[in-house]
Structure 1
Amino acid sequence: MGTPLTPDSRVTPVGIDFGGSGIKCAAVDLASGEPGERARVETPKPSTPEAVAATVVALLARFPEATGRVGVTVPGVVRHGVVHSAANIDRAWLGTDADALFSEATGRQVHVVNDADAAGLAEVEYGAARGRRGLVIVTTLGTGIGSALVHDGVLVPNSELGHLEIDGHDAESRAANSARKAEDLSMKAWAHRLQRYYSTLEMLFSPDLFVVGGGISKRADEFLPLLKLDTEIVPATLRNEAGIVGAALLADRS
């Protein structure tokens, strides 16, 4: 948990990370990338656009000092503020202009972004890829595989590299952390699948750096050394705060 807001942070942007199980919110100091005190609530069931918008309004009320722009992550493809996929949230989100929905509900300027894109940009600006130029690919290994492509600090949105078809399978169905747990794979066996996945990304994109996030990144020393790649691969450092930080950063830039 970060430092509470000071009186000088009146225009501090707010990041809100909307996930399938919880919604997290904090004001973010963009000079340091540090979020302030964080609030978290359970994602409403069902997670309809209207229900989530009401939750966002309630969360923002907890941070009256932060009057800057608001960024909200969504676990789906987002193009120009409109949600185009909804794998882990209510299907009512499909086709929803989330920028307009949240902006109208809150009375503030709100910018909505894909959750993996937000986390990836945060890692480039403040985390494991800070100061690195060229193409950085940030992947999150969790229930699925999220991805973000950032070239010289510029985000290429909605890459969805977890859905590449590799050996006839949707990549995340075999290489996500959920697959490791469901099949009770050893780290060595899982690393064999990760090797195939990251080798494919390496062949397609020739990146300068891979960053690996998700909760399993805390155990990166158990599987990353097993991978043999030409590209440097490192664990993410911002972890659970990356979505909040990235959302606030992208909102400030919008």
Structure 2
Amino acid sequence: MTSAGEGPRTLAVDCGGTGLKATVLSADGTPLHKRARLRTPYPCPPEVLVDAVTSLADATGEAFDRVSVGFPGMVRLGVVHATPHYVTEAGPFTPPRADLVAAWSGYDIQAALEDALGRPTRVLNDAEIAGLAVIESKGFEVVLTLGTGLGCALFDDGVLLPKVELSQAPFRKGQTYDQQLGHHARRRLGNRRWSRRVVKAVDGLRPVLNWDRLYVGGGGAKHIKLELGDDVTTVGNENGLLGGIRLWNDRVSRGRRIEEI
């Protein structure tokens, strides 16, 4: 495992609606190998996702001491309260199944993964982990991730604030942010038309959230063709993994250390 003089190695896993990624990071956050990838399996009850993450861990071929997992949905204290994709029959934006909704609601994904992987494990919303990699801990910082849908994370002077599931809020034409800004919409519209929607979303959220700095990341960020404003920074998609290191730092969130999340 960890050699003398080295810090802990972290298995960082990014669970997405269409794909799963994993890498092992050194103590300073350096990836130790090329990312391992799998398509997200559907239908995806909890045990299927746990098996997929275990397979990813094996595919890295690297030893690790602890695990950080980004999960798409609302997670509190390692327990799933809602997830938009894994409850569907065949993947994002397909009909949900009642049995999958019931299976995921209240599921302790953190405990299940810790048991399967045999290492201390922490699970947080995927956008929040991406945010941990990029924030400067100065003022009110907001992170939006553009991928299968829209992820959102809020930080006040580096303190992670309670999760807001912005993705499910109505945005335009009777559809949610997920439906209007996710990769399905981008592929249908083309990058430029889709970029106009992103600008509209940012401009609409600016007076609501009044951030000091907005970070826009995720796999869709590289496809944005228009300027978003001087208060916006575009960041790389790799942060969904790299934030896994800072998840283990001695930070405070709403009066609790990050490790208590």
Question: RMSD between aligned alpha carbons?
Answer: 2.7
Task: Give the letter for the 2:12 counterpart.
Answer: G
* Residue in structure 2 matching 1:97, options 99, 108, 118: 108
Alignment of 1:173-184 (within 5 A): 173-182=179-188, 184=189
Aligned partner of residue 120 in structure 1, secondary structure:
helix
Q: CA deviation at 1:201?
A: 1.6
TM-score (norm 1): 0.79
Task: Give the letter for the 1:208 counterpart.
Answer: D
For residues 244 and 216 of structure 2, the distance between their equivalents in structure 1, rounded to whole angstroms, comes to 19
1:113 is matched with which residue? Answer: 124
Find out whether 1:171 has 2:177 as its counterpart. yes
2:90 is matched with which residue? Answer: none
Alignment of 1:1-254 (within 5 A): 9=6, 11-31=8-28, 33-37=29-33, 38-61=35-58, 62-67=60-65, 69-90=66-87, 91=100, 92-124=103-135, 131=136, 133-166=138-171, 169-182=175-188, 184=189, 187=192, 189-220=193-224, 222-223=225-226, 225=227, 227=228, 229=229, 232-237=231-236, 239=237, 241-251=238-248, 253=250, 254=259
Task: Give the letter for the 2:235 counterpart.
Answer: A
Q: CA deviation at 1:22?
A: 2.7
Residues 234, 108 of structure 1: alpha-carbon distance in 2 compared, 3 angstrom cutoff: same
- Judge conservation of contact 1:146–1:161 (CA < 8 Å) in 2: yes
- Judge conservation of contact 1:117–1:148 (CA < 8 Å) in 2: yes
Residues 26, 175 of structure 1: alpha-carbon distance in 2 compared, 3 angstrom cutoff: closer
- Judge conservation of contact 2:143–2:152 (CA < 8 Å) in 1: yes
For residues 64 and 82 of structure 2, the distance between their equivalents in structure 1, rounded to whole angstroms, comes to 30
Gap regions ≥5 residues in structure 2: 88-99, 251-258
For residues 192 and 203 of structure 1, the distance between their equivalents in structure 2, rounded to whole angstroms, comes to 18
Aligned residues: 233
Q: CA deviation at 1:176?
A: 3.9
For residues 12 and 202 of structure 1, the distance between their equivalents in structure 2, rounded to whole angstroms, comes to 38
Identify, as 1 or 2, the structure richer in helix: 1
For residues 60 and 7 of structure 1, the distance between their equivalents in structure 2, rounded to whole angstroms, comes to 23
1:127 is matched with which residue? Answer: none
- Judge conservation of contact 2:6–2:27 (CA < 8 Å) in 1: no
Q: Percent identity?
A: 33
For residues 175 and 42 of structure 2, the distance between their equivalents in structure 1, rounded to whole angstroms, comes to 31
For residues 206 and 48 of structure 2, the distance between their equivalents in structure 1, rounded to whole angstroms, comes to 41
Aligned partner of residue 215 in structure 1, secondary structure:
coil
- Judge conservation of contact 1:83–1:96 (CA < 8 Å) in 2: yes
Q: CA deviation at 1:79?
A: 0.9
Q: Deviations over 1:140-172 (max 9, x none)?
A: 123321111122222224222233334554233
2:97 is matched with which residue? Answer: none
For residues 191 and 242 of structure 2, the distance between their equivalents in structure 1, rounded to whole angstroms, comes to 33
